[in-house]
Structure 1
Amino acid sequence: MSERKDKIILRGLKENNLKNIDLTLSKEKITVFTGLSGSGKSSVVFDTLATESRRQMTLNYPHYVRNQMPRYERPHADLMQNLSPVVVVEQRPIGGNSRSTVGTYMDINPLIRLLFSRIGKPSIGSATDFSSQSSFGGCPECGGFGEVIMPDLNKIIDFNQSLREYAVKFKPLSPSGWQGRWMMTGGLFDPDKPIKDYSKDELQLLLYGPPEGEKVYAPFHTKNGPQPHEWDGLLPRFTRLYINRDVSKLKEITQDDVLAVSTHSLCPTCLGSGLNPKVLDCKINGLNIAEYDQLELTDLLDELMNIKDPMGKSVARQAIPPIVQLVEMGLGYLSLSRKMGTLSGGEAQRVKIARHLGSSLNNLTYIFDEPSAGLHPEEVDMVIHMMKKIKAQHNTVIVIEHDLSVIKAADEIIEMGPGAGANGGEVVYQGKLAGLKDSKAATNLNHKLRINKKPRKIEGYFTLKNACNNNLKKISVDLPKNVLVSICGVSGSGKSSLMFGAFTEKYPETIMVGQGSIGISNRSTLATYMGIMDEVRSIFSKATGQPAGLFSFNSLGACAICKGKGVLTPDVAFADPVTVPCEACGGTRYSDESLSYRYQDKNIVEILDLTIDEAMSYFTMPKIIKRVNTLKDVGLGYLTLGQTTSSLSGGEIQRLKLASHLQKEGQIYLLDEPSLGLHAKDNGKLLEVFQTLVNRGNSVIIIEHNLDFIAASDWVIELGPGGGKQGGHILFEGTPEEMVKSETLTAKWLKDGVTEQFFT
């Protein structure tokens, strides 16, 4: 009998650490994949199912179109049948430049511009004229940027230094660039005199150039001898080359580099909208397009519903559904002008989800990567409701998740494991919720919270006074030193504004471990990231008398055929890309010569194949032992030294970043949702790391929704009560035990999760 078409058939899966497994997934159901971090969940869902679906979708296009599209390699599997098109909502931060806003990301802005061009009074030309990036619509003062940017003299120049000593701190104008060298050799300035010792005229010439109407030339040395070159002053030159020019086209500098040495203030002409005053005169029911942009989405909905003009009504009808989606996801407090880069992890995740919910297509497979990430327990219900809604429209929902309430909402649960890395890659359990508790699965549905009843004694505080970053309402707060502090509250309540804004401004020495990804390439390994590869190579070099470069696959030791990649990707024109293990080195990346040398009976590849746990007993060098130990401390003992950082899961990357900072003591550690991507069983390991850090004299502050971490803290601060304008207040400060007796939103969930005997 042939397999039914209402099931997705996956057979012989071998991608990454998968152990030749078979899976059958039901369509039009919610299936949750769970298991320890690194157990193989992503390998099944993303690297196999999603990749194969996307690969097959591109086969429907003609060759010349496919060549312009991303090209996917066929995953390592024997059989993949009955797949449907996939919509993937990942955790990765939303890219985009500094102009990317909620309105542009959701494609609502073009509709609002069209609306104003149709019914705004007084009437203005086309929809594009309402864009700050058009020649007509852009503000003439700030070029559509919304801010006036000026060079900040004290950030650009260190007056105590001479030109040769890098007095100019902006790299392209310093001695490392041609302009800086020209300033030293042109004869106009003494390159060895501190700037503070320049006469008034010398300083004027250096900073602002010659008096108006005059020109000054200095010889610039080229291959053809010295050529006269006009000197226009440091600040005019900076403004001309780096402010009034598209910096993205320059190789040596980024927009952030320019902003770091500038002051930016709201443009007085357009009041930050970036729009021409004529555009701002055009209104609908008394509001111009900039005011539409600033409205909270709930208010914007009311405005759009109030439009009576038939032409305007038809445009408004198209803009309303995506806004309704955002409001239903609990984001009604955002505005269209809110920059995507300023959203918290939970907010960005929900904006992504809302973007995909507008589709009326069905029979799709929606894949969500931890949709509860960054959400308060109160908000997770919205995600569950949203997933059920998608399922009801005859779609399949596949979720990678650790949150118990999401797991409990699944039609079917698949737990991967039993361990992580090489110890994972098997199906530990597949079935209904009821069968999970009698299985060997690590997921414990009866998980109870353990409230910290013996918090550490507080000896001192970090104090913040009248913090008003973003939505903070001039709040003052004392954060205890040398204890474990949790900052909680619904998403958008001001946690990041308080800690990554106000706190780090006052305490810049804080070590921040955020959610951003690490620079990952397939040549970056655990050993290189932790800075021990140089030591490993030098040990080999000393033991063998060979150059250290011979033990690097990025240098002398690289296999000549694959150039140290370990694989070959032959260009097969129009066909799908193929990655073939290099036959010359067998995928090891190293040349035969480098593999012929040994240290303590192992060659370099065998050493890189050691797990962190094994490396502890193999090496004796203190620096290596110390750093390897920090990886063990954060629960990554199962990974190998040579594992590429590009193959790590989100939870593993977060712990790797933490490990790279653990070598210091007497520090302030600030972590943004360290529980992200961790199974409840891994939480205990990470909590031990934090407790050890605090015991060694460090202060550890975590922004967290996870109730296990909040319950185990010494001190808890909750912000709220809502998100956006409704947030920014301190609701609670105290111990977890005191919190259980309070009436805040987090306290409600804490009460739900504690053991019964706590109240007896």
Structure 2
Amino acid sequence: MSEIKDEIILRGLKENNLKNVDLNISKEKITVFTGLSGSGKSSVVFDTLAAESRRQMTMNYPLYVRNQMPKYERPHADLMQNLSPVVVVEQRPIGGNSRSTVGTYMDIHPLIRLLFSRIGTPSIESATDFSSQSSFGRCSECSGYGEVVAPDLNKMVDFDKSLRDYAVKFKPLSPSGWQGRWMMTGGLFDPDKPIKDYSEEKRQLLLYGPPNGERVFAPFHTKNGPQDHEWDGLLPRFVRLYINRDISKLKQVSQDDVFAVSSRSLCQTCLGSGLNPKVLACRINGLNIAEYDQLELTELLEELTKINDPLGESIALQAIPHLKQLVEMGLGYLGLSRKMGTLSGGEAQRVKIARHLGSSLNNITYIFDEPSAGLHPEEVDMLIRMLKSIKEHHNTVIVIEHDLSVIRAADEIIEMGPGAGVSGGEVVYQGKLEGLKNSKAVTTLNHKLKINKHPRDIKEHFTINKASHNNLKNVSVNIPRNALVSVCGVSGSGKSSLMVEAFPESYPETILVGHGRIGISNRSTLATYMGIMDDLRLILSRETGQPPGLFSFNSIGACPFCEGKGITKPDVAFADPVTVTCEACNGLRYSDEALSYRYRGKNIAEILDLTIVEAMNYFDMPKILNRVNTLRDVGLGYLTLGQTTSSFSGGEVQRLKLASHLQKEGQIYLLDEPSLGLHAKDNGKLLDVFQSLVSKGNSVIIIEHNLDFIAASDWVIELGPGGGKQGGHIIFEGKPEEMLTAETLTAEWLSDGVKEGIS
């Protein structure tokens, strides 16, 4: 009798762009999903397999517990069998507020607080008092944050512009947000006069609000008529809404957005620890808890092994396994106080992995979303060993990945495609590594690096002098202008400290495109994010004589039944949540009146259903054409104008951010790992965009591990030689061809890639 094969059975998958997909996925194997960005990988793995497993797991709990848990909707599929519990390790920023650190996330810090409360001297008996969130323990000056954040007027306001022309550079307070529209329509301020031409009194009212003791009101126009709201001044409003609140809880704005228009300085009272002087006076072997937090994890391990007090030793022994897990993941250079929000994508993923690796559970399905992101090629080998270790403990490993080293390590490869968006959603190949080369898959294993043998002549430089941010060792470097420059090195080597912190201080005009979230909601679309929506409404308004608001599903044009959502969620009490397409508008989100008006044969919903490529042939307005062209240039031609930003992958978000900045020339573009989420076939398109930007007189600097990008650069700078205290030095600077003979880690991988066709 033949052995029954244990596998996950999926039939008739229809989530997002999936076209009735059938799949069998082997258990206790490493299965890699690959394919172009937008091909349907996440729709299979996250939106179907993981969602259904989580939904069924919650069904095992009593109703009163389930009511407190996230509710998962049943995915669109005909059949899903043999699922096991899932652990999802994805790229999204780790949850928790802006105080969340490596120590708190890994549950190590509570043990350290307990340790200090039991054996620290002078004694503070309560462990909770060693926290910056304790009313006793927190620093009174910075409320426990460790730094003082204040709005920077010159970063927030362009005094040469009017309110209508986006004088306020912070999006929620600009014309794209309701507060900005209120400032223009409330009658207090002239929306078309440059701010510099305001009288002193008006400018004070706009920026700082009315004098003490006075109150000023202005009408805000809603669909129910004008309503008076109190005007408190641009800066007080910004402080109240975006600094004195936990930014991580806000949907429409990210921490990066707030910091872009703020100044940040170390709190001089607590020197960044967030703790008050009484707490900092308590010590173990000469170190206080803030100094414990600042130690590299390898050093902290040494300190904990020195403790010989029996009670302290028993507490230390509980923390040591967690610390060893992080060190084995190559993160020994981090400290407990490192904020989770400051970790690179690769570092955050490895911290998440370390948290799960201590588990003795098996028969689990582990799902990884591009775990090679943020890893140097040298570190990818360590990642592969970790994936194999998880498999060997009788677990199933499913990985979404583009890195060829990880693909080579798979037991089975599934490629989605053949294209992206509406052109994707099918299984192009499923099988072993050796069958890939004779298939229709776009993934190819004989990928050879192309070294740029004719780099641009360098005439001018950006200069950084004696940078000592974080682990940088007084680094001075010349970075070529009007060139494509790659900055590389192992995790923690100082790349971000040099480029994301030190460089913009010297060159504040730098356009930084990082991995931070964009404001996402089901009402935020590609068209709104790119600033196309306002022009669309104006075009339809001019064509039809109707008010622009009629062509907004957030305003008077919304379907009255679903209020512009396109869906309804009936209250089904204790049953699974169900999303139903609105029967009144068929999911189009607009009222019948709004849909009755047309421009060039299409109503507003049909226009928003156009892909970027289709939109290029539909519009003739230069401003719109310029923006859709840039979206196509960064490889997003398959997306529709009305696609919600909440549905974008990490790689799509970054390219969308890049596209939103590409309208300018003579700029400095700094991109943090732009290859994130890109298939090797897409790399060429993005490289073409970078080369074109440089040819037009821009400077493009990328922080990157991907060898294709490094090989194609005009100039390469490598930091190292290690991470943390072993990093912070420039160990190579020169042309890619010169790097082939250098003796650095990246040079070795680059050289191998040229010789053997390994990427």
TM range (shorter): 0.7 to 0.9
CA distance in 1, matches of 2:612, 2:673: 25
CA distance in 2, matches of 1:218, 1:22: 68
Match of 1:466 in 2: 466
Match of 1:627 in 2: 627
Relative to 1, partners in 2 of residues 1:3 and 1:554: Cα closer, same or farther, differing over 3 Å?
A: farther
Q: Quick check: 1:368–1:399 contact (8 Å CA) kept in 2?
A: yes
Shift of 1:486: 0.7
Q: Quick check: 1:87–1:366 contact (8 Å CA) kept in 2?
A: yes
Greater alpha carbon shift after TM alignment, 330-339 vs 366-375: 330-339
CA distance in 2, matches of 1:503, 1:335: 24
Relative to 1, partners in 2 of residues 1:630 and 1:276: Cα closer, same or farther, differing over 3 Å?
A: closer
- Cα distance per residue 1:563-598 (max 9 Å; x no partner): 221111111111111011112222222222332333
Q: Quick check: 2:485–2:701 contact (8 Å CA) kept in 1?
A: yes
Greater alpha carbon shift after TM alignment, 748-757 vs 415-424: 748-757
Match of 2:22 in 1: 22
Match of 2:597 in 1: 597
CA distance in 1, matches of 2:363, 2:413: 21
Match of 2:6 in 1: 6
Q: Quick check: 1:247–1:253 contact (8 Å CA) kept in 2?
A: no
Greater alpha carbon shift after TM alignment, 701-710 vs 118-127: 118-127
Relative to 1, partners in 2 of residues 1:531 and 1:143: Cα closer, same or farther, differing over 3 Å?
A: closer
Match of 1:75 in 2: 75
- Cα distance per residue 1:48-92 (max 9 Å; x no partner): 011111111111112222111111110000111111111111101
Give the 3-state SS of the residue equivalent to 2:97 in structure 1: coil
Counterparts of 1:336-355 in structure 2, within 5 Å, are: 336-355=336-355
Q: Which amino acid aligns with 1:609?
A: D
Q: Which amino acid aligns with 2:428?
A: V
Match of 1:445 in 2: 445
Match of 2:701 in 1: 701
CA distance in 1, matches of 2:34, 2:750: 23
CA distance in 2, matches of 1:602, 1:312: 73
Relative to 1, partners in 2 of residues 1:302 and 1:220: Cα closer, same or farther, differing over 3 Å?
A: closer
Q: Quick check: 1:242–1:258 contact (8 Å CA) kept in 2?
A: no
Which structure: larger Rg?
1
Give the 3-state SS of the residue equivalent to 1:463 in structure 2: strand
TM, length-normalised to structure 1: 0.85
Counterparts of 1:445-594 in structure 2, within 5 Å, are: 445-594=445-594
Q: Which amino acid aligns with 2:360?
A: S
Match of 1:435 in 2: 435
Matched, 1:399 2:394: no
Match of 2:133 in 1: 133
Relative to 1, partners in 2 of residues 1:262 and 1:535: Cα closer, same or farther, differing over 3 Å?
A: closer
Give the 3-state SS of the residue equivalent to 1:754 in structure 2: helix
Shift of 1:345: 2.5
Greater alpha carbon shift after TM alignment, 640-649 vs 365-374: 640-649
Greater alpha carbon shift after TM alignment, 458-467 vs 526-535: 526-535
Relative to 1, partners in 2 of residues 1:666 and 1:412: Cα closer, same or farther, differing over 3 Å?
A: same
Q: Quick check: 1:296–1:333 contact (8 Å CA) kept in 2?
A: yes
Match of 1:324 in 2: 324
Relative to 1, partners in 2 of residues 1:362 and 1:278: Cα closer, same or farther, differing over 3 Å?
A: same
Shift of 1:265: 4.5
Give the 3-state SS of the residue equivalent to 2:438 in structure 1: coil
Give the 3-state SS of the residue equivalent to 1:437 in structure 2: helix
Counterparts of 1:73-112 in structure 2, within 5 Å, are: 73-112=73-112
CA distance in 1, matches of 2:462, 2:475: 14
Relative to 1, partners in 2 of residues 1:668 and 1:134: Cα closer, same or farther, differing over 3 Å?
A: closer
Greater alpha carbon shift after TM alignment, 399-408 vs 331-340: 331-340
Q: Quick check: 1:54–1:86 contact (8 Å CA) kept in 2?
A: yes
Greater alpha carbon shift after TM alignment, 23-32 vs 250-259: 250-259
Q: Which amino acid aligns with 1:662?
A: L
Match of 2:223 in 1: none
Matched, 1:666 2:671: no
Shift of 1:308: 3.0
Match of 1:409 in 2: 409
Relative to 1, partners in 2 of residues 1:542 and 1:134: Cα closer, same or farther, differing over 3 Å?
A: closer
Relative to 1, partners in 2 of residues 1:27 and 1:193: Cα closer, same or farther, differing over 3 Å?
A: closer
Match of 2:289 in 1: 289
Shift of 1:142: 6.0
Match of 2:162 in 1: none
Counterparts of 1:237-248 in structure 2, within 5 Å, are: none
Aligned length: 705
Shift of 1:284: 3.2
Give the 3-state SS of the residue equivalent to 2:643 in structure 1: coil
Counterparts of 1:41-60 in structure 2, within 5 Å, are: 41-60=41-60
Q: Root-mean-square deviation (CA), in Å?
A: 3.8
Q: Quick check: 1:248–1:254 contact (8 Å CA) kept in 2?
A: no
- Cα distance per residue 1:281-327 (max 9 Å; x no partner): 44333433233222211111122223333332322221111101110
Q: Which amino acid aligns with 1:47?
A: D
Match of 1:725 in 2: 725
Match of 1:187 in 2: none
Greater alpha carbon shift after TM alignment, 13-22 vs 478-487: 478-487
Shift of 1:647: 1.9
CA distance in 2, matches of 1:641, 1:193: 42
CA distance in 1, matches of 2:480, 2:75: 50
Shift of 1:611: 1.9
CA distance in 1, matches of 2:642, 2:504: 35
Give the 3-state SS of the residue equivalent to 1:651 in structure 2: helix
CA distance in 1, matches of 2:151, 2:629: 46
Shift of 1:519: 1.4
Shift of 1:418: 0.6
Q: Quick check: 2:9–2:23 contact (8 Å CA) kept in 1?
A: yes
Relative to 1, partners in 2 of residues 1:254 and 1:375: Cα closer, same or farther, differing over 3 Å?
A: closer
Shift of 1:666: 1.4
Match of 2:225 in 1: none
Q: Quick check: 2:156–2:261 contact (8 Å CA) kept in 1?
A: no
Relative to 1, partners in 2 of residues 1:475 and 1:579: Cα closer, same or farther, differing over 3 Å?
A: same
Q: Quick check: 2:447–2:757 contact (8 Å CA) kept in 1?
A: no
Relative to 1, partners in 2 of residues 1:568 and 1:616: Cα closer, same or farther, differing over 3 Å?
A: same
- Cα distance per residue 1:364-414 (max 9 Å; x no partner): 111110110011111111111111111111111111000001111111111
Q: Which amino acid aligns with 1:377?
A: P
- Cα distance per residue 1:117-151 (max 9 Å; x no partner): 33334544232233343344445676655567899
Shift of 1:93: 1.6
Give the 3-state SS of the residue equivalent to 1:564 in structure 2: coil
Give the 3-state SS of the residue equivalent to 2:290 in structure 1: helix
Shift of 1:95: 4.0
CA distance in 2, matches of 1:379, 1:254: 30
Relative to 1, partners in 2 of residues 1:153 and 1:430: Cα closer, same or farther, differing over 3 Å?
A: closer
Shift of 1:726: 1.4
**Unmatched tracts of structure 1, length 5 or more:** 160-168, 182-190, 198-205, 210-216, 223-233
Relative to 1, partners in 2 of residues 1:261 and 1:550: Cα closer, same or farther, differing over 3 Å?
A: closer
Q: Quick check: 2:151–2:261 contact (8 Å CA) kept in 1?
A: no
Match of 1:66 in 2: 66
Give the 3-state SS of the residue equivalent to 1:512 in structure 2: strand
Match of 1:680 in 2: 680
CA distance in 2, matches of 1:98, 1:615: 40
Shift of 1:271: 4.8
Match of 1:38 in 2: 38
CA distance in 1, matches of 2:153, 2:564: 47
CA distance in 2, matches of 1:482, 1:551: 42
CA distance in 2, matches of 1:418, 1:338: 42
Q: Quick check: 2:484–2:701 contact (8 Å CA) kept in 1?
A: yes
Counterparts of 1:233-382 in structure 2, within 5 Å, are: 264-268=265-269, 271-382=271-382
Relative to 1, partners in 2 of residues 1:286 and 1:597: Cα closer, same or farther, differing over 3 Å?
A: closer
CA distance in 1, matches of 2:152, 2:52: 52
Shift of 1:723: 1.3
Relative to 1, partners in 2 of residues 1:593 and 1:718: Cα closer, same or farther, differing over 3 Å?
A: same
Match of 1:752 in 2: 752
Match of 1:214 in 2: none
Shift of 1:533: 2.2
Shift of 1:535: 2.5
Q: Quick check: 1:247–1:254 contact (8 Å CA) kept in 2?
A: no
CA distance in 2, matches of 1:486, 1:728: 16
